[in-house]
Amino acid sequence: MKRSSLAWILVIGAILCGLFVISLFAIMAVMSDGGGFSAGGDRIAVVPVEGVIDDGMAKEVNRHLKQYGDDSRVKAVILRVDSPGGGVSASQEIYREVKRIKEDKKKKVVISMGSVAASGGYYISAPADKIFANPGTITGSIGVIAEWLNYKELAEWAKLKPVTFKSGEFKDTGSPTRDLTDAEKKYFQAMIDELYGQFVGAVTEGRQGKGETGAELNKERVIQLADGRVYTGEAARKNGLVDEIGNYEDAVKATAKLVNIKGDPQIITPPKPKEGITLLDLLLGVTKITNVSPSQLPGQLVNMDTSVKFKYQWK
């Protein structure tokens, strides 16, 4: 092959590689902007909160909330909540970020409830400017639960004898191999009561003077509603836990009106996450093996988790 031909091949190859890299960056820019080609203008961001709230979800939701909170083009954020709640701390992580973009970033936050927005799902909704629910949405469940497996009798049947060394009386409280002592029951109940008080306080602060009952929704009234039961969307509205009955489209229209956007608002959403991890992702370094959760790897043996977990979760 002549040198001139080889040179032309190299030049064309370099151009094609350059175009590929530019296209790749353009696609990534579009994805980071919410998955759509768009110019400037006022926007409403919609962030989904779907499934059980855990640390991973809280990190992901808060990343999007921070992104849209820092974007001057985004005038309001809608949280589309379809969740039974989850971990106490994870729910509080999202709750604090919702408050931050309201108070520090001066963004309006509206909740659009799906099928379920209970317990932690309601906790993260409480500080919003307006809450929409469908008539049949399941919401409420204001309360705390702690649960774990106890296989004491199974161990005895299998003639297994647990051995424990500990530095203090409560170090192994919640052990799956023995019953709780009376002191431990009081200790756990005190923690439950404290976390419950935090939930009641968040709802009281967020819903004071809102809803059909207005200013009647004070702490005493919240405590009456906060016995762990769930409410339909219609019952929640009558009790002041939500503001209006309406679906997602109703929430979008009301949000646009709230921030003075004329006509159909420009909606942006986070890019959808990829399903699972491929071998190519690992080989190309797109995903580090240290960032892969065990549930994403094939053939993972699931260990029985016996740790005590405190949850804002409807069971």
* pLDDT top residue among 312 and 210: 312
pLDDT of residue 307: 78
pLDDT of residue 210: 78
> Where are the chain's structural domains?
27-272
Q: How sure is the predictor about 148, in pLDDT bands with cuts at 50, 70 and 90?
A: confident
Q: How sure is the predictor about 213, in pLDDT bands with cuts at 50, 70 and 90?
A: low
Alpha carbons 181 and 257: distance in angstroms, whole number: 57
Is residue 273 within 8 A of residue 57, CB to CB? The reply is: no
pLDDT of residue 308: 81
Q: Is the pLDDT of residue 26 over 60?
A: no
The residues annotated with a catalytic role in the active site are 119, 171
pLDDT, tens digit (0-9, with 9 covering 90-100), for 227-240: 999 999 999 999 99
- 162-188 average pLDDT score: 92
Percent of the chain whose predicted confidence (pLDDT) is above 70? 75
* pLDDT top residue among 182 and 287: 182
Q: What is the pTM of this model?
A: 0.79
pLDDT, tens digit (0-9, with 9 covering 90-100), for 71-94: 999 999 999 999 999 999 999 999
pLDDT, tens digit (0-9, with 9 covering 90-100), for 257-270: 999 998 888 999 99
Domain 27-272 falls under CATH 3.90.226.10:
yes
pLDDT, tens digit (0-9, with 9 covering 90-100), for 83-132: 999 999 999 999 999 999 999 999 999 999 999 999 999 999 999 999 99
